[in-house]
Amino acid sequence: MTDPKTLFEKIWDSHLVDVQGDGTCLLYIDRHLTHEVTTPQPYEGLRQAGRSVRRPDATIAVLDHNVPTDWNEKIDEDSQLQIDTLRRNCAEFGVELYEVDDARNGIVHVIGPEQGFTLPGTIIVCGDSHTATHGAFGALAFGVGTSEVEHVLATQTLIQAPARSMRISVDGDLPAGCSAKDLILAVIAKIGTAGGTGHVIEYAGPAIEALTMEGRMTVSNMTIEAGARAGLVAPDNTTFAYLQGRPRAPKGDLWHQAVSYWKTLPSDKGASYDKEVIIDVSGIVPQVTWGTSPELVAPITSQVPDPADAPTEDARDSWRRAIDYMGLRAGMNMAGIPVDRVFIGSCTNGRIEDIRAAAEVAKGRKVSDGVRAIVVPGSGLVKLQAEEEGLDRILTEAGFEWRSPGCSMCIAMNTDRLEPGERCASTSNRNFEGRQGRQGRTHLVSPAMAAAAAVTGELTDVRGMLP
Amino acid sequence: MENFTRLTAIAAPMDRINIDTDMIIPKQYLRTIKRTGLGSVVFDELRFNVDGTEKSEFVLNQEPYRRSGIIVAGDNFGCGSSREHAPWALLDFGIRCIISTSFADIFYNNCFKNGILPVTVKSDQLKALMADASDRENPELTVDLNIETIIRPNGGRVAFKIDEFRRKCLLEGLDDIGLTLQKQRKIDSFESKQRVNQPWLYLENESN
């Protein structure tokens, strides 16, 4: 009998190409997702060294980070150059690229799963920190830097030091009005943005098992905001049902062969972790961030905290700075803080269930005067699906703008951004200073909470607005 | 990549936690197809006013810190996005070493690919080094990767530890890809086995 292993250890061990004397590993990479912003330099490096892409069939490219979400808009020269550079590189190196007007295009972390390119038991990388999203499928998925992108293109491997493991067990039923976004924000509130540093997280427990694949993706996505590079969920029937029939998922006999293999992946009984966290979500209420780090988050029913109550001196400074940047006061009710903008989209919350949740709240209501609210589907296919369901009409009738897919206001590389001082309820993943635009103020929330803020003009407890 | 052995340089104190990669290099500068030229905009929003003038309170706008080669910073440095533009911008400014109590994982990795040494120290050590850096009369630190030691202005020593492989690559300025390509046969053999055991991961089998 071999020692019990975790899901993470099973994937890690099955991808070892080489182990050096000091424990540094050479890992095989099964899937490589690429986009326009972090690929120009790697391809230039390959060209200079006369190297090729080792596995074009295991690599796909999308245009998402800086493409306009309003196709009538003129694109700036630098972005156009990046887009054209990716087109040229993909053609030269034989990598498949989803063009802007291809329904399969969209945010890299939405389309990987959608196409069945993301599969359990694989190692997936991308030059983007939210690659953690794919961990929802029981894949080891993590973001890499640009030099590592080049390394993967050239060798289909990565040099990695082993990580420690952490299990986050989430108990309890998620209450009505709370979503996967509230769950992960509550986890980050508990462990902090550096809580997972150096670790690979495995999310487990009944509350995780009960989530849909889209909900699990939202949780895994924000693993990086908890400091860990990867956050896995064991594959189960929910996973298999989601994948079956997707364009790049295995078919026929291979499907059955794959599923039997995937069923061996969940952590063995008795497997041990370097760190264990248990959280019960049955009592949580919708979450909203008040500061400039995702860990500065609180229930919508609470108040902006007082820096005097911060646990450490460093935290006190950071709280004070954050409250000042956000234009808030300690003791203010979170509910009732007025917003100027609302953003629904991103790799965290740009999938069909997110848009349904927003539409449910928006239905029959109007976006508040003076608020500008945009909805940006995560992919062309999400957009089509939403239109088939009539969600676009519900949203536009309520006064939301209905856009084309892209990263949009989550990274604010194009004109979808905040003006100085503007306050935004956003379904994205980072509320850093300037993240959504210089001097912009971001409150991270779920899609339902964002829609509620749009129609009331202020941060609002969505639980009072649901049917 | 330029190697890193021993560096004596002015250390800039940045006494705040969670300095994220958006702070180090905001998104509008990611629209580049080059690695160089970002030093002029590193820490953009902390460093410049909207009209482009310098914010005098920001440390890198003050003497002698304009010539800093080292940053001493609070916990969780480099958190956030994977953008390698962050270490590129720091390097382009002249920063070769960052000292903190912890680093975000991806940023930490990215440093080693660019000849930057991230040094992790304990919180009492960071406090002392922060105080050293804050003395603008004599804010020079020496960081020696060979002996994994920081030498303080008062001669005091702070030991640190770097993974053996990373240390070797940084000391010698080695190219990772070149090293890995020497293991091509191992990669070939891994692929042949995987092709048999998990054929669904290979495109030629996908259309079954």
pLDDT at B59: 98
**Per the structure block, which two tokens stand in for A306?**
């007082």
Average pLDDT over residues B97-113: 97
Asked if B174 is an interface residue toward chain A (Cβ–Cβ < 8 A), one would say no
A346 interfacial to chain B (CB closer than 8 Å): no
Q: Which of A305, A369, A293, A362 is nearest to A333 (CA)?
A: A305
Q: Decide if B31 and A413 are in contact by the 8 Å CB cutoff.
A: yes
**Cα(A167)–Cα(A85) distance, rounded to whole angstroms?**
41
- What number is the average pLDDT over the span B154-163? 97
* A97-132 exposure pattern, b = at least 16 Cβ within 10 A, e = fewer: bbebeeebbbbbbbbbbbbbbbbbbbbbbbbbbbbb
| Structure tokens given for A93 | 């190196």
3-state secondary structure of B85: helix
- For A86, the token pair is 């990716």
Nearest CA-CA distance, residue B182 and chain A, Å? 10
Q: What are the helix (H) ranges across A14-126?
A: 40-49, 77-93, 108-114
DSSP at A441: E
So what's the pLDDT on residue B205? 79
Chain A residue numbers touching B102 (CB-CB < 8 A): 194, 197
The stretches in chain A having pLDDT less than 50 are none
Chains A, B: CB contacts within 8 A come to 210
DSSP secondary-structure letter at B12? E
CB contact under 8 A, B31 and A78: yes
Look up tokens 């808030």; give the residue. A328
CB atoms under 10 Å from CB of A162, counted, come to 13
Look-up of token digits 């306009």: A68
Mean residue pLDDT of chain B comes to 96
pTM above 0.90, yes or no: yes
* Spatial distance between the Cα atoms of B4 and A266, rounded to a whole number of angstroms: 42
Q: How far apart are the CA of B52 and the nearest CA of chain A, in angstroms?
A: 13
What domains can you pick out in chain B, each with its CATH number?
6-174 (3.20.19.10), 183-208 (no CATH)
Residues of A in contact with B184 (CB under 8 A): 155
Q: Which two tokens stand for residue A27?
A: 């890992």
**Nearest residue of chain A to residue B112 (CA atoms):** A147
Of the candidates A248, A250, A314, which has its C-beta nearest B75's C-beta? A314
**How high is the pLDDT of residue B203?**
85
Predicted pLDDT of residue B1:
86
A268: CB partners within 8 A, 6+ apart: A4, A5, A6
Query: What is the spatial distance between Cα A12 and Cα A23, in angstroms, rounded to a whole number?
Result: 13
Are B187 and A157 in contact (CB < 8 Å)? yes
Residues of A in contact with B176 (CB under 8 A): 147, 151, 159
At residue B33, the 3 state secondary structure works out as coil
Q: Are A452 and A364 in contact (CB under 8 A)?
A: no
Q: Tell whether omega for the bond before B64 is within 30 degrees of 0, i.e. cis.
A: yes
**pLDDT score, position B207:** 62
> Residues B9-50: pLDDT tens digits?
999 999 999 999 999 999 999 999 999 999 999 999 999 999
Under DSSP, the state recorded for A127 is S
Q: Inform me whether the pLDDT recorded for B208 exceeds 60.
A: no
